[in-house]
Amino acid sequence: MKNIRVYLMALLVLLTFTLSSCELVGDIFEAGMWTALIIIVIIVLIVTWLFRKIRR
């Protein structure tokens, strides 16, 4: 029974560290998503401006 407690405590500590790193990775991906969205909007605006410039 003592061996099981040691393994459960080790598992709990491991999960604690891995879950916090997953949160960090999630935040990084969220920041990347917003950056990509802003870049896409800027590219669409530039392409729209270019088409309007060519048609005149």
Q: Any idea where the domains of the chain sit in the sequence?
A: 1-56
For residue 12, the model assigns a pLDDT of: 78
For residue 55, the model assigns a pLDDT of: 87
Query: What is the rounded distance in angstroms from the CA atom of residue 31 to the CA atom of residue 38?
Result: 11
For residue 2, the model assigns a pLDDT of: 63
For residue 7, the model assigns a pLDDT of: 82
For residue 49, the model assigns a pLDDT of: 94
For residue 43, the model assigns a pLDDT of: 96
Instruction: Find the length of the chain.
Output: 56
Mean pLDDT, each 10-residue run in order, the chain (56 residues):
76 73 76 91 95 89
